[in-house]
Structure 1
Amino acid sequence: MKIWENYQVDQINRLEGRAHFLSFPTKEQALLNENKYTHAFKNLNGIWKFMLVDAPEYSPSKFYEADFDTAEMADIKVPGNWQVQGYGKMHYSDLWYNFPINPPYVPTENPTGIYKRQFTIDESFKGKKMILRFCGVDSAFHVWVNGHEVGYSKGARNEAEFDITEFVQEDVANDLTVRVYQWSDGTYLEDQDMWWLSGIFRDVELLGVPYAGINDFKVVADLDNDYKNGLLDLSFKFREVKGQQIEVNLLDPSGKQVLSQKITSEQESLHAEIPDVRHWTAETPELYQLLISVYDGEHLVEVIPQKVGFRNIRLAGEVFLVNGVAIKFKGVNRHDYNPRNGRVVSKEEIEKDILLMKQFNINAIRTSHYPASYYLYDLCDEYGMYVIDETDLECHGFELTGKYDWISNDPEWETAYVSRMVRMIQRDKNHPSIIMWSLGNESAFGTNFVKMTEVAKEMDPTRLVHYEGDFEVEAADIYSTMYTWLEHPSKKPLMETIIQESKKPHILCEYCHAMGNGPGNLKEYQDLFYAHDKLQGGFIWEWFDHGIESYTEDGEKYYRYGGDFGDDPSNKDFCIDGMLMPDRTPSPSLYEYKKVIEPIQTTAIDLKTGEIELLSRFDFQNLQIFDLYYSIFEDETLIEDGTISLPSIPAREKATLTLPYNLDFVSKPGASYFLNISYQLKATTAYAPRGFELASANFELPTKAAGVEITPSGRLQVEEADTTLSITGTNFLATFDTVRGTLQKLIKDGQTIIERGPKFTMWRAPISNDMEIIDEMKKQYFLHLEHEIVNSFDWKETDQAVQITVKTINSTTNSAWHYKCTYTYTICGSGDILFNLAGVPSGKIDTAPNMLPRLGVTMHVNKDMNQVKYLGRGPRENYVDSKEAGYLGVYRSTVAEMFTNYVVPQANGNRMDTRWAAWTDDRGQGLFAEAAKGFNFSTSYYEESDLDNAKHTCDLAERDYVVVNLDYKQNALGSYSCGQWQLEKYRTTFEEFELSLRLTGFNAKEVDAVALSHEDLTLLF
């Protein structure tokens, strides 16, 4: 049997798993905790020699020998995945194995990478045990040193160490050879939702460690039943036990020593009680510094540093508690990922992730679906982040065989399952940030998971066990579900079912699929979490878009996804599902999530007097860490602001405050007044500078006065030709096509403002969250193929205006349902156009779709008019089920900036509750649009068809006009790419509607858009 197909062989000569730590010759160097200052350390990353063969059997003869000729081998970067460096085939799938399912067998054509490099050792390694550490190799591998076979390992995202002391030679170049197999029996346990990428993708290190030193140690830093004193338990494993002395020193977060104790190596453990400890939580990550010093007689053998956080985790009926509190996870699922380097990530990249998460109020990470790079856990300890540490285990492809538990319920595979979890716990056991051990993901359930739970509890009874696939919660401590719906006519369980029936604490280990434009319903889920103790939060899927950085022939950057590399089968753009775009730009959804999970909920009690109520959403931290900055705007002009320090408000408590503003001013007619509140850090923290905003609020003040009444006036001339109607006024011309019934053009001061007037539409380019209903929209209802049939075009003159009425039938290809629409244009002598569109559902109504993408109009504006100003929700896009971060105010932008450049082009950029919007060129000439009842709008250089047809951003070509969408209603986003569809209350349906707008060509040098918005036209609506 080929060893890479032998699931009973988990390793050959691999050392027992242990904590990832460093050993130093002195306490001073230990406190620096850098590789450079260890006893002996050599990083083996860099350029290696490499060849890729089609199968292990095609390896050259004696490739592992030190004198093997590497002249024909290429150079490759380590760490790195060979596919992103030009070797082998890129392939993305969420579900499928890329070969027949016949465990433990894998394809005969098994791409195999042979890596070689040389290294030398210096004086520091002499007299030390030399350990070769691989932090991550996909999928299985053999190791040779100087032609001697050292060992074999599998389990791609787990560390593997080998003792190579007897094979290393001093004062000469040593040869290191690694042969990596793309496929192994371990691959059956590694079917995670990500790119299939192979090779040595994490650090390779050579350590020199003292023989008399500690091989492994375990720290348990718990709290007593009163959550007052710390309970410190230490246990040790020595390489050689020969009467060493261990000195333990513990320094509190301020550097004060609170424990100094000595034991002998034969005792192997230590217990101490530390009075009045400072607790570790994600909000208050108080870390103690542990120094473990080993003496052999008078000789200091080594010093090991370890950060320690005192916290308690326990189950209590229907909740789990951290330090006595039923905390809420406000989390994300996170892969190790880089758009250029695949799964190779540096400590600096991970730190950027953690900082960004903290700045966006995220407090928890699920390491989907494998243990992350070891750097992550140190950073989560330091900055404060709850972690669900997940075993490198997923068997998703078996779901389609009809026997999902094929190997999960086969005791013959127990070693393979248990080993992966054991190695994870052994490496990560000393991190206070880890709250739960997760047994893996999407692998059904069976005897092997029961055994994993037993072993996990034996190894570490201080933490909880998680596994979503344990649907009956037979073994896990937590009831965990994915994408559980809020409402559905038949689907179960729903969140309401869990609330009523679950007897264990619940989390959503995945929910609100952040794919493209979306997700919606973040607020609805969070409101439920807050309302029920047993609902302890969840983890958004996911943190990062997994696009592959690519360039066109012209050098334009874009990102490829599944299927772009000829990979088949592929789940296509299902890997573009993060709250961060591949270049680390936060998507609008991340701002929405920040708002929904912010630490302060603000409620207006009496805005006239400035009285507000603050509710702390912290679990532990006091709100006195914040200053409150308030500002009052008259439209876009700041008229008053101030700062107050928040008093002491304990976690989860309420308090009322009165803001010291003064509303005794005379309101400007027609102006709008807004109160903005920003909660900013009083002092610089580890993750953000002083003044950084973590929470905010926005209210419209009750001070609006009626606008200035304006009666449009001016003489009009009407000229009718065969197919056109032209209305000329002072400095403007409006032209209509009497056949198509459309406004052809609006010219102001000789410049064309509108190049095509408003035209009714029900269509918007599909968003990623429409993926399950695109066929229905396009192939059943043909919503992208719209038709407008003009029944009549009539006009008449009045004393003050020309009124045009157009009656149409609007529907789609092969549809028996339709809208009866009436367009009304009232063209005033002033140049104002009062536009009204009314639609009545007609025809065979019962055959109409139950949901429409939108109801509104689209028009074309002169491309020079690329400056945008509006009063509505901003500054980023917002939709009816994703608008919490959209604050009312006056915003300035550009057409380009109003466009969200998603990796997969799709509808975007909507702004809700808009009262007015203006497009101007660099000289201030442009178009003004307003609606008394408000409207949705978006604008870009692209038609919906452009967005619909483009696969990548580089496929988009700007039109020679600006597209303006003015909508009565935009459909909700939902999360139906993987989760809850659009909630009923947020849907755009086949309903009666009316959209009334004022459209005015204007010159900002005559009157500003803000001033125009203050007018009340006596003919208006």
Structure 2
Amino acid sequence: MSFRTTPSVDYVEDVSPGSGALPPRAWYASSDAKSLSLNGSWRFRLSATADAEDDSFAAEGYDAGGWAEVTVPGHWVLQGDGAFGAPIYTNHLYPFPVDPPHVPTENPTGDHLRVFDLPSDWPADGGVVLRFDGVESCARVWLNGTDIGEFKGSRLPHEFAVGHLLKPAGNVLAVRVHQWSAGSYLEDQDQWWLPGIFRDVTLLHRPAGSVLDFFVHASYDHTTGEGTLRVESDVDGRVLVPALDIDVATGEPVTVGVLPWTAETPKLYDGELVTQGERVPLRIGFRTVALDDGLIKVNGEPVLFKGVNRHEWHPEKGRALDLETMREDVLLMKRHNINAVRTSHYPPHPAFLDLCDELGLWVIDECDLETHGFVEQDWRDNPVDDDRWTPALLDRAARMVERDKNHPSVVFWSLGNEAGTGRGLTAMAEWIHGRDSSRLVHYEGDWNCRDTDVYSRMYAFHDEVEKIGRRLDGGTGKRRELPFIQCEYAHAMGNGPGGLADYQQLFEKYDRLQGGFIWEWIDHGVKHPELGYAYGGDFGEELHDGNFVCDGLLFPDRRPSPGLVEYKKVVEPVRFEGDSTNSTVGTVRVTNRHDFADLSALAFEWSYQVDGETIEAGALNVPPLGPGESADVKLPEPSAQALGDESGWTVRALLAADTAWAAKGHVVAWGQFPVAARPLPSVPPTVRPVSGEGLITLGPATFDARTGAVNTIAGVLVEGLKLDVWRATTDNDDGAEWQTDTRYGALWRNLGLHRMHHRLETVEVGEDALTVRTRVAPAAREVGLSTVYRWTSDGDRLRLTVSVGPEGDWKLPLPRLGIRFQLAEADRVKWFGGGPGEAYPDTKRASMLDRWESSVDELQTPYVRPQENGARADVRWVELGGLRIEGDPEFWFTARRWTTEQLDAATHLTDLTPGETVWVNLDHGQHGIGSQSCGPGPLPQYHLRAESAEFSFVFSANEQSNSLIN
């Protein structure tokens, strides 16, 4: 066979979906047909352009011994220690000139070569299919020297008939992969651009008479409790479901009594599709999805989505996920009370949907389509409104629907994401509605709901969401009659998102609001030897969007962030409310917030705390309430000896037995209710300050006589104590570039809050107090804070009262308000207050009042881009570095081994070098967090206004500081 010396690469810029591939069909694993995985080590050659090399490498006998090797599935830019190029991150900008369908001449092209033998027991009869589950972005394929086709659609399956080309041994599979193609214009999906064969490559034997394609229709009638099963098959056969005594011919419907499938009760029936040549296992879930009375209903009941958006990601392998990683994702979602996932912005690996079927998640399955970069030219030349591209759009829709149509977890087909509007999207919607009427169609960009079955929005602010809930939002008549979801909200970038509880309150208040999907599941940090985790710009990209790619509820290593812990609490499926009319909270109201499940799978327990210590505990008898039902459950009377200073109840709902997604005892929900408030610390000013040579002594403390600055407290060196209003700005403080009026990070810096000057006015030694008056203000501005430090003591304890009064016209809230000081050393920290993790005014639903302990290092939250973090809320007292500090009122505390300024300047965690000194912040107030990195900022009730304030701290020796329990 002869080969071109300069191969034609016209297909790279062809707007068609490709040629040679078989029609799309359902994804399944055969019970008895042979398969051969071609994953593993492949020979690899990288070229700078699409036509740099001829295609002689595809010929039998070609010597690729000098080539490098890469692992398939994989992305070549994440292999080879940088020898094969680098990742590129953009949010929506195309990293090449927008000139559809053309792409740059500089087009990294990877030639992949795999030589394989057929197993000795490989059948000689029947056909064989070569399957690619995902290749970015365009591939041409040869088998044993024969060109079998090319394809686009990176996150979609493509199959080729190859049985006539195979031989027992020495088969040569050659795949040429181009990073850029016409298909790239359809795949601008706010993620890393990562070329390669990143999903499985498999050889599938197809026996004579085997299944070609099939469609499982399994509906449920909630009024009768019956399910109707009908399996369409391209090849005649029989459908067997032993547990239901079903044995019927394909195409024939059968109705029987069944248990329905829901995300809360994912009942699957094992069955088989049996044809003359093959047995195919079926996992059947009976459920009916409908738009009824203006609501999304499953099995007759409205559904409230408590969801997340999920890009596929692994910090070392990119989008090449293995089954265990996918399972870990689903288990983490279930354990954090998440019930839905939107597969942003492409169909996931098909095994992920198997897990959603098995473990129970509602799925919005999204097409591999986004053309967001065309917004830069006001959507001119947008492919979704250009008839030349419609065949490619329909091909992508069909490959998604046909592959995933047998998954009961999939309740919505989504046309794609941020692709504007146009005739191509309408064609997709019409085809999908015609092919599968058993599911609804979603697309956020269609605000008039011409093509969709739901009104969907991104990042609508709380006030607009309430208007939508009250049906005061206007829009077309069709839209006003449709349910509403936020397909993206609460941008989980860095510290945050804030305001989750406020959104959830709206979702639960108005029937029309059927929940939403947090953006997003995981930070897309790339593991890096020097930077820890890299993000946009760390690979020298010409264009990039920085750490906007790190906006997940999981850190890159899949550790839950505080945002995920907060979300778990906010959406927990059991609600506890205390009876505030009874001084001992004699009853607790328990409400089942599930849509389908009763509470029989849960056990309940109570505990009674005094001053943060559990005095009594026991089981709580809660009836197996049905969905939406409530009951008032009596709590036991606390014993006489249990009554103390501050007391309260904690009630928990736990799994009563092991489940497929968590072990017995896993905490599903909890609530806390105060009984007796804590008495505020009292320090009678019985000791007067005494002036000495350069020092002032007051009780257990010494002060500099000239400045009034405290030097030691109870023998502990305390340095630099002063008012502090600055925090290392969060991603949400810095905000999105289009929200200029409320990007407080920049506004704070412009005002100079990061460089405040402290002017000493007076040091007053009184009869019972040492008073230091100062003015704290930024250079070049007339605003300031009049600050008074008043120190008193009873001989053993030292009380500091700080009074702050704003001067000038303050137009901005403060980042924080409190005091900051240094301790020479501190390691273990013990406190009574909120924990165990960080909390801020609008992110503290998951902060549980208890006694907690940690090291200073463990207090830090490792956001990929360093920023304000680690504050513990509602603290009564904290012990660290030899001191015990009580608050009046409760306070936030933060302790770290670097300064706020060092934290503020860092771009990666590796920029922070811990020292022995510990910087401590005790805050009277913190500004809220919000999610303004893409959504709304903090709601007004969480703003820290520059107003007059007074707060106190009581310092004393902590005699047990060196003997804390680990």
Q: Secondary structure at the match of 1:125?
A: coil
| In structure 2, C-alpha distance between the alignment counterparts of 1:1008 and 1:197, rounded to whole Å | 49
Contact 1:192–1:396 (CA<8 Å) still a contact in 2? Answer: yes
Query: Partner residue of 2:738?
Result: none
Contact 2:608–2:638 (CA<8 Å) still a contact in 1? Answer: no
Query: Partner residue of 1:338?
Result: 314
Report how far residue 215 of structure 1 moved: 0.5
Q: Secondary structure at the match of 1:615?
A: strand
**Structure 2 residue 965 is the aligned partner of structure 1 residue 984:** no
Query: Partner residue of 1:30?
Result: none
Partner AA of 1:776 in structure 2: A
Q: Secondary structure at the match of 1:133?
A: strand
Report how far residue 768 of structure 1 moved: 1.2
For residues 470-507 of structure 1, give each alpha carbon's deviation from its aligned partner in whole angstroms, at most 9, with x where no partner exists.
0111110000000000148xx99877666677321000
| In structure 2, C-alpha distance between the alignment counterparts of 1:940 and 1:985, rounded to whole Å | 28
| In structure 1, C-alpha distance between the alignment counterparts of 2:102 and 2:927, rounded to whole Å | 48
Report how far residue 812 of structure 1 moved: 1.1
Report how far residue 61 of structure 1 moved: 5.2
Give the counterpart of 2:109 among 109, 112, 127.
112
Q: Secondary structure at the match of 2:914?
A: coil
Give the counterpart of 2:331 among 346, 349, 355.
355
| In structure 2, C-alpha distance between the alignment counterparts of 1:537 and 1:492, rounded to whole Å | 12
For residues 324-345 of structure 1, give each alpha carbon's deviation from its aligned partner in whole angstroms, at most 9, with x where no partner exists.
1111000000011100111110
Give the counterpart of 2:763 among 777, 793, 805.
793
Give the counterpart of 2:862 among 901, 911, 915.
901
| In structure 2, C-alpha distance between the alignment counterparts of 1:887 and 1:225, rounded to whole Å | 40
For residues 124-152 of structure 1, give each alpha carbon's deviation from its aligned partner in whole angstroms, at most 9, with x where no partner exists.
23112111000100001011011111111
Contact 2:785–2:807 (CA<8 Å) still a contact in 1? Answer: yes
For residues 294-352 of structure 1, give each alpha carbon's deviation from its aligned partner in whole angstroms, at most 9, with x where no partner exists.
13xxxxx2111110100011111321101111110000000111001111101111001
**Structure 2 residue 509 is the aligned partner of structure 1 residue 540:** no
Give the counterpart of 2:817 among 855, 865, 885.
855
For residues 576-619 of structure 1, give each alpha carbon's deviation from its aligned partner in whole angstroms, at most 9, with x where no partner exists.
11110011110011111001100111111246263111111100
Report how far residue 735 of structure 1 moved: 2.4
**Structure 2 residue 942 is the aligned partner of structure 1 residue 945:** no
| In structure 2, C-alpha distance between the alignment counterparts of 1:516 and 1:427, rounded to whole Å | 35
The 1:771/1:710 distance shift into structure 2, 3 A limit, reads: closer
Query: Partner residue of 2:75?
Result: 81
Give the counterpart of 1:270 among 252, 273, 276.
252
Contact 1:153–1:160 (CA<8 Å) still a contact in 2? Answer: yes
Query: Partner residue of 1:761?
Result: 724
Contact 2:336–2:568 (CA<8 Å) still a contact in 1? Answer: yes
Query: Partner residue of 1:727?
Result: 697
Report how far residue 158 of structure 1 moved: 0.2
Query: Partner residue of 1:33?
Result: none
The 1:709/1:526 distance shift into structure 2, 3 A limit, reads: closer
Partner AA of 1:876 in structure 2: G
Query: Partner residue of 2:740?
Result: none
Query: Partner residue of 1:972?
Result: 928
**Structure 2 residue 389 is the aligned partner of structure 1 residue 413:** yes
**Structure 2 residue 784 is the aligned partner of structure 1 residue 808:** no
Give the counterpart of 1:866 among 827, 837, 849.
827
Query: Partner residue of 1:551?
Result: 529
**Structure 2 residue 290 is the aligned partner of structure 1 residue 314:** yes
Partner AA of 2:481 in structure 1: K
For residues 865-923 of structure 1, give each alpha carbon's deviation from its aligned partner in whole angstroms, at most 9, with x where no partner exists.
22212221111111111111112222222212221121111111112222211114xxx
Contact 1:499–1:534 (CA<8 Å) still a contact in 2? Answer: no
**Structure 2 residue 752 is the aligned partner of structure 1 residue 782:** yes
Query: Partner residue of 1:451?
Result: 427
**Structure 2 residue 837 is the aligned partner of structure 1 residue 837:** no
Q: Secondary structure at the match of 1:701?
A: strand
Partner AA of 1:102 in structure 2: D
In structure 2, the gaps of 5 or more residues are: 1-7, 736-742
Contact 1:624–1:645 (CA<8 Å) still a contact in 2? Answer: no
Give the counterpart of 2:873 among 904, 909, 912.
912
| In structure 2, C-alpha distance between the alignment counterparts of 1:901 and 1:888, rounded to whole Å | 23
| In structure 2, C-alpha distance between the alignment counterparts of 1:24 and 1:879, rounded to whole Å | 53
Contact 2:888–2:951 (CA<8 Å) still a contact in 1? Answer: no
C-alpha root-mean-square deviation of aligned residues, in Å?
A: 2.2
**Structure 2 residue 660 is the aligned partner of structure 1 residue 686:** yes
For residues 88-110 of structure 1, give each alpha carbon's deviation from its aligned partner in whole angstroms, at most 9, with x where no partner exists.
22211101101110100000111
| In structure 2, C-alpha distance between the alignment counterparts of 1:46 and 1:72, rounded to whole Å | 18
Partner AA of 1:231 in structure 2: T
Query: Partner residue of 1:718?
Result: 691
**Structure 2 residue 950 is the aligned partner of structure 1 residue 994:** yes
| In structure 2, C-alpha distance between the alignment counterparts of 1:980 and 1:626, rounded to whole Å | 36
Contact 2:729–2:745 (CA<8 Å) still a contact in 1? Answer: no
Q: How does 1:557-572 map to 2 (within 5 A)?
A: 558-572=532-546
Report how far residue 194 of structure 1 moved: 0.5
Task: Report % sequence identity.
Answer: 37
For residues 523-569 of structure 1, give each alpha carbon's deviation from its aligned partner in whole angstroms, at most 9, with x where no partner exists.
011111111111000000001010011223xxxx7111111111121
**Structure 2 residue 204 is the aligned partner of structure 1 residue 207:** yes
**Structure 2 residue 678 is the aligned partner of structure 1 residue 673:** no
Query: Partner residue of 1:175?
Result: 172
In structure 1, the gaps of 5 or more residues are: 26-38, 239-244, 264-268, 296-300, 921-925, 1010-1021
| In structure 1, C-alpha distance between the alignment counterparts of 2:678 and 2:31, rounded to whole Å | 72
Q: How does 1:556-705 map to 2 (within 5 A)?
A: 558-605=532-579, 606=582, 608=584, 610-665=586-641, 667-668=643-644, 671-702=645-676
Query: Partner residue of 1:4?
Result: 11
Contact 1:484–1:495 (CA<8 Å) still a contact in 2? Answer: no
Contact 2:115–2:172 (CA<8 Å) still a contact in 1? Answer: yes
Contact 1:289–1:308 (CA<8 Å) still a contact in 2? Answer: yes
| In structure 2, C-alpha distance between the alignment counterparts of 1:159 and 1:140, rounded to whole Å | 12
| In structure 1, C-alpha distance between the alignment counterparts of 2:137 and 2:959, rounded to whole Å | 66
Partner AA of 1:288 in structure 2: Y
Query: Partner residue of 2:58?
Result: 64
**Structure 2 residue 484 is the aligned partner of structure 1 residue 506:** yes
**Structure 2 residue 279 is the aligned partner of structure 1 residue 288:** no
Query: TM-score scaled by structure 2?
Result: 0.94
Query: Partner residue of 1:151?
Result: 149
Query: Partner residue of 1:190?
Result: 187
Report how far residue 997 of structure 1 moved: 1.5
Partner AA of 2:563 in structure 1: S
**Structure 2 residue 401 is the aligned partner of structure 1 residue 425:** yes
Q: Secondary structure at the match of 2:774?
A: strand
**Structure 2 residue 238 is the aligned partner of structure 1 residue 247:** yes
| In structure 2, C-alpha distance between the alignment counterparts of 1:935 and 1:616, rounded to whole Å | 33
Give the counterpart of 2:159 among 157, 161, 181.
161
Q: Secondary structure at the match of 1:872?
A: strand
Contact 1:625–1:646 (CA<8 Å) still a contact in 2? Answer: no
For residues 924-964 of structure 1, give each alpha carbon's deviation from its aligned partner in whole angstroms, at most 9, with x where no partner exists.
xx111112322221111121111101111111012331111
For residues 19-44 of structure 1, give each alpha carbon's deviation from its aligned partner in whole angstroms, at most 9, with x where no partner exists.
0112233xxxxxxxxxxxxx211100
The 1:394/1:666 distance shift into structure 2, 3 A limit, reads: closer
- Number of equivalences: 941
| In structure 2, C-alpha distance between the alignment counterparts of 1:644 and 1:996, rounded to whole Å | 39
Give the counterpart of 1:520 among 474, 494, 498.
498
**Structure 2 residue 36 is the aligned partner of structure 1 residue 42:** yes
Report how far residue 234 of structure 1 moved: 1.2
Query: Partner residue of 1:958?
Result: 914
Report how far residue 1008 of structure 1 moved: 10
Query: TM-score scaled by structure 1?
Result: 0.89
The 1:716/1:109 distance shift into structure 2, 3 A limit, reads: closer
Report how far residue 420 of structure 1 moved: 0.5
Q: Secondary structure at the match of 2:806?
A: strand
| In structure 2, C-alpha distance between the alignment counterparts of 1:607 and 1:404, rounded to whole Å | 66
Contact 1:405–1:443 (CA<8 Å) still a contact in 2? Answer: no
Contact 1:313–1:463 (CA<8 Å) still a contact in 2? Answer: yes
The 1:408/1:607 distance shift into structure 2, 3 A limit, reads: farther
Query: Partner residue of 1:129?
Result: 127
Query: Partner residue of 1:821?
Result: 787
| In structure 2, C-alpha distance between the alignment counterparts of 1:972 and 1:710, rounded to whole Å | 32
Q: Secondary structure at the match of 2:16?
A: coil
For residues 792-812 of structure 1, give each alpha carbon's deviation from its aligned partner in whole angstroms, at most 9, with x where no partner exists.
22212x3xx4x2222211111
Q: Secondary structure at the match of 2:42?
A: strand
Deviates more, 1:711-720 or 1:119-128: 711-720
